[in-house]
Amino acid sequence: MDPVLINSDVIRTLDLSPLTPWSNAPLEQTLSAGAVLELRFEWPRDPNDPRELAECPEPRLWALRADARLPWLPLILERDNGSLIRHVAMVVPHSFSRSEGLRFDPQALELWITHRMMLLDDLCRTHVGRSMRNNLTQVAASLGYELDHRFWDLLD
């Protein structure tokens, strides 16, 4: 599948139309596709600007809107080329250094993952009619977070 371009015009206007094929499809169909959506951001930066894309306020605001409107987005973002990690970096506090790379604030990541797992577990059971806990656990693992199996027991 070709990457979806999120260009500067889309970012500046908080336009989510590039995600329309996924947002308009039935949720079960969207989620059954798996982690296939690659987002490619094109945001102009001065060559001397040391910030990473996730540190730029405009793309972060676009990602926050996408995250609010499409809370299931992490389930379909591809994981091998960095779309999931980039998305989470846009919505969860983190730091970045050339030597250590991306480091999420541990408490912020734990809160985001816990909230997102609860929300998506309910959403999948209600709107898709089945659990997607294995996929949810993989999302957490992709972010370096190991869910204790007892977490799911608490929700049952």
Residues of the domain holding 128: 4-155
Q: Measuring CA to CA, which residue among 102, 18, 28, 114 is closest to residue 7?
A: 18
pLDDT of residue 51: 87
Maximum Cα interatomic distance, the chain, rounded to a whole number of Å: 51
Rama region for 101: left / alpha / beta (φ>0; ψ in -120 to 50; rest) = left
pLDDT of residue 130: 87
Number of domains in the chain: 1
Give pLDDT tens digits along the chain (156 positions): 799 999 999 999 999 999 999 999 999 999 988 999 999 999 999 999 988 899 999 999 999 999 999 999 999 999 999 999 999 999 999 988 778 888 899 999 999 999 999 999 999 999 888 889 999 999 999 999 998 889 999 998
